[in-house]
Amino acid sequence: MREQDYAVHHGQQVEQQEVSKVLRNTYSLLALTLAFSGLMAFISQQMGVRYPNVFVVLIGFYGLFFLTAKLRDSVWGLVSTFALTGFMGFILGPILNRYLGMSGGAEVVSSAFAMTALVFGGLSAYVLITRKDMSFLSGFITAGFFVLLGAVVASFFFQISGLQLAISAGFVLFSSVCILFQTSAIIHGGERNYIMATISLYVSIYNLFVSLLQLFGIMGRDD
């Protein structure tokens, strides 16, 4: 009986050590990729780069995303992670320039940045402290993805009043739920690869920031 208890206790210790390692590696890599992404955004701002064609953005993002997923167990996965986040940072520069060129644009950008940091920090802390299992959110994430995709497609064909505001608000909620889900997956063993955990959190933070920019920008125009 004692040997069985020891085996269970030892297994729990090993599991906890693995979780701590994945968390440490994930947040370390996330911090580096966010800093690199910010640097690339600054460079593209200074260069006055124009926002690329939407197909270039989609091909670049999904191509690098799937490449990173394929290489996640090798050192090349780290290279493709920085390529992905650097690319996303580079196309963020023109977006920032557009908002900074608006009246009160600096306030919009700083508010979106502060709110993104607050939301991410708060949601992460909530899961890490309570250690609640958020796996039940997977269904919501799947449904939310298709609803938002349909709304985005509709926005290309129909000029519906308030639709863009609703899409931005929807992406804020969707990104927040994804942060809860991914953080919980790391803690409870659903995600053991820190590269995939990093890019998942990075994409959620990126979408959250851009959506808040759009939301504050729209509300600013309404004022």
Per residue of the chain (223 residues), give pLDDT as tens: 555 554 444 445 656 777 888 889 999 999 999 999 999 999 999 998 898 888 888 899 999 999 999 999 999 999 999 999 999 999 999 999 999 888 888 899 999 999 999 999 999 999 999 999 998 998 989 998 889 888 888 877 777 767 888 888 999 999 999 999 999 998 887 788 999 999 999 999 999 999 999 988 877 665 4
Residues recorded for the chain: 223
Half-sphere exposure of 176 (CA within 13 A, CB side): 17
- Three-state DSSP at 88 gives helix
pLDDT of residue 8: 46
Distance of CA 72 to the CA centre of its chain: 17
Contact assessment for residue 186 and residue 178, using Cβ atoms and an 8 Å cutoff: no
